[in-house]
Amino acid sequence: MKISFYIALRYWRSKSADRFGRLVTNLASVGIVLGVMALIIVLSVMNGLERQQKQQVLSTIPHGIVSNSQGHFNLQDTAPDFPPFVQKAVPINTTNVILQSAHGVSAGQVIGVKDVSDDPLLNHLSDEFSQLLPNGEFKLIIGSSLADKLQLNIGDKVRMMITENSQYTPFGRVPTQRLFTISGLYYSSAEAASYAVFANLADIGRLMRLSAEQFQGYRLFLADPFQITELSRFFPSDWKIQDWRSQKGEFFQAVRMEKNMMGLLISLIVVVAVSNIITSLSLMVVDKQGEIAILQTQGLQKKQVRRIFIFQGFLVGAVGTFIGTILGILVTLNLAQIMDWISTNNVFLPTYIESGQIVLIVAFSLLLALLSTIYPAYRAAKVEPAEALRYE
């Protein structure tokens, strides 16, 4: 064992006569433990909330829609090569519409599909697609919340007006419109259920002046919706890409900013705790001046003196970081049971531990602990044996 590390270990384990210095060292260790543990717990909870929102909110809306600005696609053509992180790509015709019933009017978005498996909101429908949305019969599947708002049931008629397409009549320019029959209801608590309706791909294409074999673009479902930023690298510049960020981008940006701010604020606990290492080492340098001088007279070099206090301060930071990391992971893994003991209101906090985040927290804490030893170690190396031992 190197002499510098051996002496640092003895200093760290010894019961110093300076009780105040020992107290400051213990406070530094406890502060690092609490800071690292709090960082891991809070960031894991924020990760869990972000992941839960991503699964609940983004699972019911298109992750992306790609279309060719030069024209439309054809069902007979070969589908483009999509990147590997795209789980599924289905043809889509979609537009904003106004739905009018005998009891009210509501804005919505119609989505043309080829099969009930094309959208997760329709997965629970067991009937055949040919019965629900047959080609040419202009039938509609509507969300239960929107159906309640317009007081519609299966078999009722609803007028759909496409505001983006219009036609000239003797009475002026009027939007394209058509009566649709409600053929099914889907049930979902998602926000999309309040405005999304589904029709046959070809029926919507006819209203948008497309042939039965044409469609606007491909609706993409990604393994990770946050990979949408990489999508533009796989398509030519003349392709148009619409993604979920136009609807929910601000929400997830706010969640990410809140997580970053919480991490920054809690990391100040670690910064304050590490500053106590500077204080404790500085007190030890004053207390151990005579011993440092004797070690130098016995041949210990100044760089070895510096290493003694660097090792000692780093030991304090490393032990606190290790204990805080273990406690943080254990509390995070058992947070549901802990919340049951603390609260009787059935509060559930989802958690998700990211290994990269844990490594970053540990590296941040150890780096601060190492930096905090530089000044005390420099002061210790400046001790002159003759001056320190003059009155001994």
The domain segmentation of the chain, as residue ranges, is: 3-55+252-388, 64-243
pLDDT above 60: residue 16? no
DSSP for 105-146? EEEEEEEEESSGGGSGGGTT--S-HHHHS-TTS-EEEEEHHH
Give 385's DSSP letter. H
SS3 of residue 205 by DSSP: helix
pLDDT above 60: residue 171? no
pLDDT of residue 359: 93
Spatial contact of 297 and 385, defined as CB atoms under 8 Å apart? yes
pLDDT of residue 387: 67
- Nearest 5°: phi and psi at 196? -85, 130
- Nearest 5°: phi and psi at 115? -155, 155
For 193-244, strand residue ranges (E) read: 196-200, 214-215, 217-222, 239-243
Q: How far apart are CA 139 and CA 135, in angstroms?
A: 9
The highest-confidence range among 10-24, 121-135, 139-153, 180-194, by mean pLDDT, is 139-153
pLDDT of residue 91: 87
Mean pLDDT of 83-96: 84
SS3 of residue 155 by DSSP: coil
Of the pLDDT bands very low, low, confident and very high (cuts 50, 70, 90), residue 15 is low
Q: How far apart are CA 79 and CA 97, in angstroms?
A: 28
pLDDT above 70: residue 169? no
pLDDT of residue 330: 93
How are the residues of the chain apportioned to helix, strand and coil, as percentages rounded to the nearest 5? 55, 20, 25
Q: Which of 273, 266, 364, 244 is nearest to 46 (CA)?
A: 266
Neighbours of 316 (CB within 10 A): 24
pLDDT tens sequence across 314-371: 888 888 899 999 999 999 988 888 877 876 667 778 888 888 889 999 999 999 888 8
Relative to beta strand 73-74, strand 64-68 is unpaired
Q: How far apart are CA 181 and CA 94, in angstroms?
A: 18
**Percent of the chain's residues with pLDDT above 90:** 7
Of the pLDDT bands very low, low, confident and very high (cuts 50, 70, 90), residue 231 is confident
pLDDT of residue 92: 85
Strand partners, 180: 158
pLDDT of residue 210: 82
Q: Which of 35-44, 298-307, 316-325 has the lowest mean pLDDT?
A: 298-307
pLDDT above 90: residue 115? no
Q: Which of 145, 119, 112, 22 is nearest to 61 (CA)?
A: 119
pLDDT of residue 188: 78
Mean pLDDT of 117-127: 77
Of the pLDDT bands very low, low, confident and very high (cuts 50, 70, 90), residue 127 is low
Enter the tokens of residue 252.
Answer: 């997830």
**Percent of the chain's residues with pLDDT above 70:** 88
Q: Which of 207, 228, 227, 224 is nearest to 216 (CA)?
A: 207
Q: Name the strand (E) or helix (H) holding 174.
A: strand 172-186
Spatial contact of 339 and 387, defined as CB atoms under 8 Å apart? no
pLDDT of residue 244: 76
Q: How far apart are CA 145 and CA 104, in angstroms?
A: 13
pLDDT of residue 358: 92
Relative to beta strand 217-222, strand 196-200 is unpaired
Spatial contact of 368 and 313, defined as CB atoms under 8 Å apart? no
Of the pLDDT bands very low, low, confident and very high (cuts 50, 70, 90), residue 287 is confident
Q: How far apart are CA 313 and CA 374, in angstroms?
A: 9
Q: How far apart are CA 24 and CA 281, in angstroms?
A: 9
Q: What is the pTM of this model?
A: 0.70
Spatial contact of 189 and 183, defined as CB atoms under 8 Å apart? no
pLDDT of residue 326: 94
The highest-confidence range among 3-17, 175-189, 319-333, by mean pLDDT, is 319-333
Q: Which residues contact 375 (CB under 8 A, 6 or more apart)?
A: 278, 282
Enter the tokens of residue 101.
Answer: 């019933």
